[in-house]
Amino acid sequence: MKKKILIRIGSLRHGGAEKVLVTFLKNLPKDKYEVDLLLNLYSGKYLTDVPDWVNVMYLNRGEMITTNRPKDLPKKIYRVVYQQLLKKYPKILYKRKLKNRQYDIEFAAIHGFMDEVLNSPLKSSKKLMWIHNDLTQVSGYTPEKIRRFFNYDKVMVISEKIQNTFLSLAKTEEEKSKIVRIYNPLDTDEILTKSEVRSQKLEDSVTTLQNPDLETQNLEPVFISVGTVFPQKGFDRLLRVHKRLLDEGFQHKVLIVGDGYDFENVKKLKTELGVDESATMLGFTDNPYPYFKSADFYVLSSRYEGFPTVLFEAITLKKNIIATNVSGVNEMLENGKLGLITENSEDGIYNGMKQALTNPESFKAYQKNLQNYEMPFNLENSVNSIMQIIDQL
């Protein structure tokens, strides 16, 4: 008999956790499970990637409202009140929206849905949590609050650092046994195939970025950073470092690929810094890999992470990498064998980018290691590991 699973997540917008969830669903055998995917907001670029056998449901639909414009406020308030109401009175949600369906497993795909799943009126279902962030760096997550995750039957974490956080907070062997580390399912073949795709938008942006000095015909080095535009990702730090290096005479370009609620703030900062000519914010693209490929260096400027999936993409594409020392980076870059790990600060990013501009030869050792590197996991193993957890619950 097929296991019935309810998965909860906010939307399928362009974040790492959302992409990983959809990759997992695409590689799940449809004859083994019945999956209901409940979104708070029916929105996002990954909606079209969800397999058609997965039943997608939602509380609200339409694009995410990231501004406080007067005309948007009524809809924004309605959505928030509606979601809070269903969170407070889950029996209404399960009766009206879910039609009293029974589930074997209720699965929170991100940490923000801790309460929604724990407060489920279905007492017999097993509860599964997937944590993608270093919660010690997330506002409001005290040790007491993090300990509430032990109320789940199983907690999947994506890095050694997150695993160690939970193990240090566990009070019994049973609690320790609930924590399991799983590598994110990532499709490396898809990354390599998509990186070969050429488009007019790509050609135009690369031409704009490279903008060769006509006298010397030297192409300026291009630094790329990819991710959802949240304060967590540190794109503001990247732009300030970019300005600092330009002021010191180091000519280069910066390309930021991604969208998010902080997009307009970062774009405004770019203009205030006077770097609109040398820094480009591309917005969201469903295929960032050709841009990765055309750049000289990949920069991870994050303030905190769980296990930055984007680094595996950069490793797959054999990019020169500069990354702040956040959760998962040492693990992924093998303690500095595969890329330059900098201090988690603006000065750290500055020193890393300056090294790339003044001593690009120093990246040859990373390149040599990248050429011979084999991923410590593959897509099939990751999906099988998660299926094994689901089957054993």
**The pLDDT of residue 39:** 95
Tokens of residue 36, six digits? 């209901």
Minimal CA–CA distance to 25: which of 42, 41, 9?
9
CA distances from 352 to 167, 237, 245, 359, 379 (A): 33, 13, 11, 10, 31
Neighbours of 139 (CB within 10 A): 4
**The pLDDT of residue 217:** 44
Residues 296-316 have a mean pLDDT of 91
| Burial call 303-332: b when 16+ CB within 10 Å, e when fewer | bbbbbbbbbbbbbbbebbbbbbbbbbbbbb
| Residues shown for the chain | 393
Burial classification of residue 46, based on how many CB atoms lie within 10 Å of its CB (0-12 exposed, 13-18 middle, 19 or more buried): buried
pLDDT band at 215 (very low <50, low <70, confident <90, very high): very low
> Under a CB-based contact definition with an 8 Å cutoff, are residues 255 and 291 in contact?
yes
* Residue located via tokens 């944590």: 131
181: which strand partners? 157
Averaged pLDDT score across all residues of the chain: 90
**The pLDDT of residue 213:** 46
pLDDT band at 261 (very low <50, low <70, confident <90, very high): confident
Say if residue 218's pLDDT is above 60: no
Residues 74-91 have a mean pLDDT of 85
**The pLDDT of residue 77:** 80
| Span 322-338, pLDDT tens digits | 999 998 899 899 999 99
Tokens of residue 47, six digits? 């909606």
Give the CATH fold of the 3-183+377-392 domain: Rossmann fold (3.40.50)
> Under a CB-based contact definition with an 8 Å cutoff, are residues 345 and 222 in contact?
no
Q: How far apart are the first and last CA of the chain?
A: 15
Residues 152-156 have a mean pLDDT of 98
| Span 194-206, pLDDT tens digits | 999 876 666 666 5
**The pLDDT of residue 204:** 66
Cβ-Cβ contacts under 8 Å for 144 (sequence gap 6 or more):
none
Cβ-Cβ contacts under 8 Å for 143 (sequence gap 6 or more):
169
279: which strand partners? 254
What distance in Å separates the CA atoms of residue 341 and residue 3, rounded to the nearest whole number?
Answer: 43
Whole-prediction pTM: 0.78
Tokens of residue 145, six digits? 């609050």
Say if residue 374's pLDDT is above 90: no
> Under a CB-based contact definition with an 8 Å cutoff, are residues 273 and 240 in contact?
yes
Residues 84-102 have a mean pLDDT of 92
Give the CATH fold of the 188-371 domain: Rossmann fold (3.40.50)
Provide the residue ranges of all domains of the chain, joining segments of one domain with +. 3-183+377-392, 188-371
Is 26 in a helix, a strand, or coil? helix
Minimal CA–CA distance to 281: which of 255, 299, 310, 260?
255
CA distances from 29 to 9, 53, 111, 149, 388 (A): 21, 10, 25, 28, 13
Same fold for the pair 3-183+377-392 and 188-371: yes
CA distances from 45 to 3, 22, 67, 132, 286 (A): 28, 11, 20, 20, 7
Q: Name the residue type at position 158.
A: I
What distance in Å separates the CA atoms of residue 108 and residue 127, rounded to the nearest whole number?
Answer: 8
* Residue located via tokens 């470092």: 241
Say if residue 220's pLDDT is above 70: yes
What distance in Å separates the CA atoms of residue 98 and residue 57, rounded to the nearest whole number?
Answer: 9
> Under a CB-based contact definition with an 8 Å cutoff, are residues 154 and 389 in contact?
yes
Phi and psi, residue 200, nearest 5°: -65, -40
What distance in Å separates the CA atoms of residue 146 and residue 244, rounded to the nearest whole number?
Answer: 39
70/215: higher pLDDT:
70
